[in-house]
Amino acid sequence: MSHDSTPSKPAAQQVAKDVEELERRSQTAARLFDVRRIIGGLFVVYGVIVTLAGVFASEEDLRKAQDININLWTGIAMLILGVAFLVWLRLSPTVPPPAVRDGDAAE
Amino acid sequence: MLHLAEGLRLPTNGLDYTLLGIYFAVVLGIGFAARRSVKTSLDFFLSGRSLPAWITGLAFVAANLGATEILGMAANGAQYGVYTVHWYWIGAIPAMVFLGLVMMPFYYGSKVRSVPEFLLHRFGPSSHLLSSIIFAVSSVLIAGVNLYALALVLKALLGWELWISVVVAGFFVLAYITLGGLSSAIYTEVLQFFVILAALIPLTVVGLKRVGGWGGITDTLSGEKGGAFMTAWDGTGIGSANPLGANWLTIVLGLGFVMSFGYWTTNFAEVQRALSAKNLSAARRTPLIAAFPKIFIPAVVVIPGLIALVMEPTLGKTEKGLQYNDAIPVLMRDLLPNGVLGIAVTGLLAAFMAGMAANISSFNTVFTNDIYAAYLKKDRPDEHYVATARWVTVAGVLIGMGTAFIASEFSNIMNYLQTLFSFFNVPLFVVFIIGMFWKKTTPAAGFWGLLTGTVGAMVNYFWLYKQGVIDIPTDQGANFVSSIVAFAVGAVVMVAVTLFTKPKPAEELAGLVYGTRSPGEPEPLGEGDDAWYRKPALLGWGALILAAVCYVPFSF
């Protein structure tokens, strides 16, 4: 354990530098799709399916859920959530990251 | 470990399986679509430190909202009553706020890629390697235990054979993490968060109607279990008995301070989500945004536990009959029609897979970054580490699947293992907190504090408690005490070792210790981050006050 403290200063700074360099080359910001599209899409599809199940609910379904048409209400709520995510995506789309600046390479 | 009773088979039909199938397809799609964003190892491990705060925040809470947590906390609700809210309002919120307001500038600002890497900077290689190995081994085994729990639940609910569940769930997790790295893990967690809520909210609504609302629950359970069952603090005086087997001091110190701070502030499976945020402001807001849903989760987890107890008063009474863990499955079986039932099954399965994925994605980062690249194969090109991380993911999932099969043979041993791992976070927390606030703390003190704290907790649990040397009424109570012991032992050893060993020079600690700053320019605020609703202090104090207000109706 005694040798722990000797050369770690350059190591720690080197790591921070490496991470900065990797951050510059990172492609996630530029190429990763927006998760709102997935949430919105899935919940619209789920919402439609579950709402339809509610529209055609059987007597037994209703009795089981204490006379609440739970499929209908859940389906509508999911549909609203899904549409809300798609509208949000439409109103404030993903901001494309700034292109790699020239000055950065010299650092 | 989750053991569900016989006779819980859900009346699922084609509609429910369609909803489940759609989810699996979407998850796989996320993996393939995220693949093209992975260019560097930083993309794979930390999504290139580029995600917005609302995504990392929801992933932060979802990574904790695994199925074992959901079923387990509903079980605690049925077993201990309203006391279960302590796991949320005192056992999570203060620690999440502390992480965001106090610790995150050191984590994120020092540009470390993992929690063990912070130890490397603050202390040195020996504590780094020790905590990396402990973390890597425990996360793979916990992933396996999760997978086994998933298989048990699916066998009870859907009648799937154990090996089918293990292979199918393991394969999907393997596929989307190998393809997209942390980005697909986080996206899946955000998706899972909404799906599980879409299942739990209808379940709670229908359940409340069935038992006559909150008033119905209170009347029935206060009559059967005594009035204290429906309160948060009654009977927690030192020396008085209550269902939890803990007094206010062990609740506040053991659960509220040591255990919860250990889990929320140093568990890399959680902290990793915050480290992937796009700037320091977003990283600080990650656990703070997560705190708000966390405050309200008991409403859809603990209340169903209480509802289940009203509907099935025999819950947990007999060995053969329904167990406390069956609380939510019982409600799903008795109250949800096909359709919402499919959403509930999907949500539960998604929660299991997300819990496992959180373990695997933090494991591959620590193994590749902190063990392989730091000690085994240094200075390779970055592409080499991306490829390695993918193979490490495959290996991690396969070992997890193997663990799941072993667990089916030795489920008691697995119970012990899980308890064992719960000890590792507390010593890690003591090392962090002392190392962050006392700049004299020496590298040797970090190592020995970590080691003796872990051993101290094990000695307390396995010898003092299990052998009956001291008398603690319940396992939960013993866990609280073990973590207090781990904290005290670790702290005393660190102070003692520090007095006799050499500290690091002050200039090596810049940005790692309270009162210092990372070298270089402070990061500018992102665009719009100065809006009042994005101020970390406001969000943090707001969460604390809200949690305190939530206690009011259950305290007087």
Chain A positions touching B441 (Cβ under 8 A) are: none
pLDDT at B472 over 60: yes
- CB burial of B414-434 (b: ≥16 within 10 Å; e: otherwise) equals beebbbbbbbbbbbbbbbbbb
pLDDT for B258: 82
Verify whether the Cβ–Cβ distance A53 to B36 is below 8 Å. Answer: no
From the list A1, A61, A75, the residue facing B443 with the nearest CB is: A1
Asked if A26 and B48 come within 8 Å (Cβ–Cβ), the reply is yes
Question: What dihedral do alpha carbons B303, B304, B305, B310 form, nearest 10°?
Answer: 90
pLDDT band at A105 (very low <50, low <70, confident <90, very high): very low
Q: What is the pLDDT of residue A107?
A: 35
Mean pLDDT of B62-90: 87
Cross-chain Cβ contact B43/A26 below 8 Å: yes
**What is the arithmetic mean of pLDDT over B536-547?**
92
pLDDT at position A58, please? Answer: 85
Residue in A11, A23, A53 nearest the CB of B339: A53
Sign (positive/negative) of CA torsion B57, B63, B66, B70?
negative
Nearest CB to B190: which of A11, A35, A46?
A: A35
What is the widest separation between alpha-carbon atoms in chain B?
69
pLDDT of B206 over the 70 cut: yes
Whether B422 shows a pLDDT value over 90: the answer reads no
pLDDT > 80? residue B412: no
Residues of chain A found within 8 Å of residue B22, distances taken between Cβ atoms:
42, 45-46
- The answer to whether residue A6 scores a pLDDT higher than 50 is no
Best-predicted range by mean pLDDT among A45-49, A96-100, B83-87?
Answer: A45-49
What span, in angstroms and rounded, lies between the C-alpha atoms of A53 and B477?
46
Q: Are the beta carbons of B339 and A42 separated by less than 8 Å? A: no
- Domain locations in chain B as residue ranges: 14-30+44-408+531-554, 423-504
Any idea which architecture B14-30+44-408+531-554 has in CATH? Answer: Up-down Bundle (1.20)
Which of B26, B340, B442 lies closest to A74 in CB terms? Answer: B340
Question: Which among B234, B270, B197, B268 has a CA at the least distance from the CA of B86?
Answer: B234
Which of A58-67, B406-415, B438-447, B473-482 has the highest mean predicted lDDT (pLDDT)? B438-447
Q: What angle do CA B443, B448, B450 make, to 5 degrees?
A: 100
Collapsing DSSP to helix, strand or coil, B112 comes out as coil
Contact check, Cβ <8 Å, A5/B504: yes
Q: Is B320 on the interface with A (CB under 8 A)?
A: no
The whole-chain average pLDDT of chain B stands at 86
Regarding predicted confidence, which is higher, B398 or B259? B398
Q: Which of B70-74, B292-296, B367-371 has the lowest mean pLDDT?
A: B70-74
Structure tokens at B472: 């603690």
Q: What is the pLDDT of residues B451-460, one digit of tens each?
A: 999 888 888 8
Q: To which H or E segment does residue B537 belong? A: helix B536-551
At A103, the pLDDT band (50, 70, 90 cuts) reads: very low
Q: Do A28 and B37 touch (CB under 8 A)?
A: yes
DSSP category for residue B233: S
**Residue B226 CB partners (closer than 8 Å, separation 6+):** none
The winner for highest mean pLDDT among A55-64, B69-78, B147-156, B486-495 is B486-495
Chains A and B form CB pairs within 8 A to the count of 184
Please report whether residue A17 resides in a domain: no
Q: Does residue B35 sit at the A interface (CB-CB below 8 Å)? A: no
Chain A residues inside the 8 Å CB shell of B205: 68, 70
As a whole number of angstroms, the distance between CA B231 and CA B242 comes to 11
* CB proximity under 8 Å: A 62-101 to B: 62, 64-66, 68, 70-71, 73-75, 77-78, 81, 97
Q: Residue B128: exposed, middle, or buried by beta-carbon count in 10 A (0-12, 13-18, 19+)?
A: buried
Question: How many whole angstroms separate alpha carbon B523 and alpha carbon B529?
Answer: 12
Residue of A1, A58, A88 to mutate when probing chain B, most B C-beta within 10 A: A1
Which residue in chain B has the smallest CA separation from A49? B339
Q: Supply the pLDDT for residue A106.
A: 36
Q: Which one-letter amino acid corresponds to residue B509?
A: L
Whether the per-residue pLDDT at B7 is higher than 60: the answer is yes
Q: Is A11 an 8 Å CB contact of chain B?
A: yes
B382 with A11: Cβ contact below 8 A: no
> Among partner residues B18, B111, B201, which is closest to A19 by beta-carbon distance?
B111
Residue A64 domain boundaries: 33-90
Predicted interface score ipTM higher than 0.90: no
Residue B180 Cα distances to A95, B47, B64, B74, B115, angstroms: 21, 9, 21, 33, 22
Measured at the CA of B90, the angle between CA B79 and CA B533, to 5 degrees, comes to: 130
Q: What is the pTM of this model?
A: 0.90
Structural domain total, chain A: 1
pLDDT surpassing 60 at residue B545: yes
- The whole-number pLDDT of residue B5 equals 63
User: Is A73 within a domain?
Assistant: yes
CA gap B1, B149 in Å, rounded: 7
| Residue A30: both structure tokens together | 């530029």
Percent above pLDDT 90 for chain B: 43
Token representation of residue B494: 């660190």
Give pLDDT tens digits for B264-317: 999 999 999 999 999 999 999 999 999 999 999 999 999 999 999 998 888 777
Residue A107 touches partner B, C-beta closer than 8 Å:
no
Residue B191 has its nearest CB partner, among A23, A31, A38, at A38
* pLDDT band at A102; cut points 50, 70, 90: very low
Question: Rounded to an integer, what distance in angstroms lies between the CA atom of residue B352 and that of residue B146?
Answer: 7
| Residues in B touching A40 (Cβ below 8 Å) | none
Task: Tell me the shortest Cα–Cα distance from B386 to chain A, in angstroms.
Answer: 12
First to last CA, chain A: 35
pLDDT digits (tens, 9 = 90+) for B117-128: 999 988 989 999
Residues A82 and B456: their CA atoms lie apart, in Å, by 50
pLDDT of residue B2: 59
Nearest to A68 among B55, B209, B501 (CB): B209
**pLDDT-derived band of residue A99, with 50, 70 and 90 as boundaries?**
low
Q: Would you call B277 helix, strand, or coil by DSSP?
A: strand
Across the interface, do A4 and B126 touch by the CB < 8 Å criterion? yes
The rounded distance, in Å, linking the Cα atoms of B78 and B308 is: 7
Structure tokens at B118: 């912070």
Which of A2, A22, A65 is nearest residue B40 as measured by Cβ atoms?
A22
Q: Is residue A14 situated within a structural domain?
A: no
Say what the pLDDT of residue B303 is.
Answer: 93
Distance, in Å, from the CA atom of B95 to the CA atom of B265, rounded to the nearest integer, reads 7
Which residues of chain A are within 8 Å of residue B187 when distances are taken between CB atoms? 35, 38
Angle formed by the axes of helices B280-311 and B53-64, nearest 10°: 40
Q: Look at residues B153, B182, B180 and name the one whose alpha carbon lies nearest to residue B273.
A: B182
